Amino acid sequence: MRSRPTLVPPLAGLLTALLLVLSGCSTATTDGGQQDLVTEHGLDGLEARDVIDRLEATPVSERPPGLIASVQPESVLMTDVEGREERLPLPDDAFYLSVAPYLEQTHECHFHSLTTCRGELGNEDITVRVVSDKDGAVVLDQTVRTQDNGFAGLWLPADMEATLTVEHEGRRASTPITTGADAPTCLTTLQLR
């Protein structure tokens, strides 16, 4: 067993402690160590909203393999096959709802996966209208293009109840939605008729 000096000059002790803290927080290494998920997937420096927009817009064939990015009401949870996990908080006043209207086939979904969810109508123009149940105000009324994955991402005000209507090529569907703390961020039940 090695003996340690009993007195360390205050400045040297402070520098040693600082180096230990910084090395414990370091994630990027050149010797095969771990990098954090955000940096590894080219998302470093982005807010959660920007991460969502970027991943949602990425063509399916270019989505990062081994990364699962799940949009929850208050954050984006990113995990990988190595068991690493990172959570990015969403703005308090905004809610992200990803909508995949369909004609013939769909899947169950509660929290939208930016990397694995697939909808039937990729790269299609749809008209989306969101009307507040509280006062009848039109929150959103526009034509948007679904992404390559078949989803259209909508940024809505948090904590509201509304009716969402989607139209595509003469077909339409409507459903009630909420944007509260336990609301789904993935909507796959809109069958266009």
One domain for residues 43 and 66: yes
Backbone angles phi, psi at 146, to 5 degrees: -65, 150
What mean pLDDT is predicted for residues 46-70? 93
- Using CB atoms within 10 Å of the CB of residue 37, give its burial: 0 to 12 exposed, 13 to 18 middle, 19+ buried: buried
158 vs 97: CA distance, rounded Å: 10
Q: Is pLDDT above 80 for 33?
A: no
One domain for residues 181 and 99: yes
Q: Strand locations in the chain, DSSP E? A: 67-72, 75-80, 85-89, 94-99, 125-132, 138-145, 152-157, 161-168, 171-178, 186-187
Q: Which helix (H) or strand (E) holds 137?
A: none
Q: What is the mean pLDDT of the chain?
A: 84
- The answer to whether position 6 is within a domain reads no
What mean pLDDT is predicted for residues 57-68? 91
What mean pLDDT is predicted for residues 71-100? 94
* Domain stops at, among 27, 54, 89: 89
Q: DSSP alpha helices (H): ranges in the chain?
A: 10-25, 37-40, 48-57
Predicted local confidence at residue 35, as pLDDT: 57
Residue 32 identity (one-letter amino acid) = G
Structural domain including 63 reads 37-89
One domain for residues 179 and 98: yes
What mean pLDDT is predicted for residues 131-155? 97
One domain for residues 80 and 112: no
One domain for residues 42 and 120: no
- The answer to whether position 172 is within a domain reads yes
> Among 16-20, 105-109, 112-116, 144-148, where is mean pLDDT lowest?
16-20
Share of the chain above pLDDT 70, in %: 82
Number of domains in the chain: 2
Cβ-proximal residues to 138 (8 Å cutoff; 6+ apart), any chain: 129, 130, 131, 132
- The answer to whether position 110 is within a domain reads yes
- The answer to whether position 26 is within a domain reads no
Q: Is pLDDT above 80 for 112?
A: yes
| 3-state secondary structure (DSSP) of residue 38 | helix
One domain for residues 98 and 81: no
Q: Is pLDDT above 50 for 5?
A: no
What mean pLDDT is predicted for residues 169-180? 98
Location of structure tokens 């039937």 = 120
**Angle at 43 (CA atoms; ends 40, 48), nearest 5 degrees:** 130
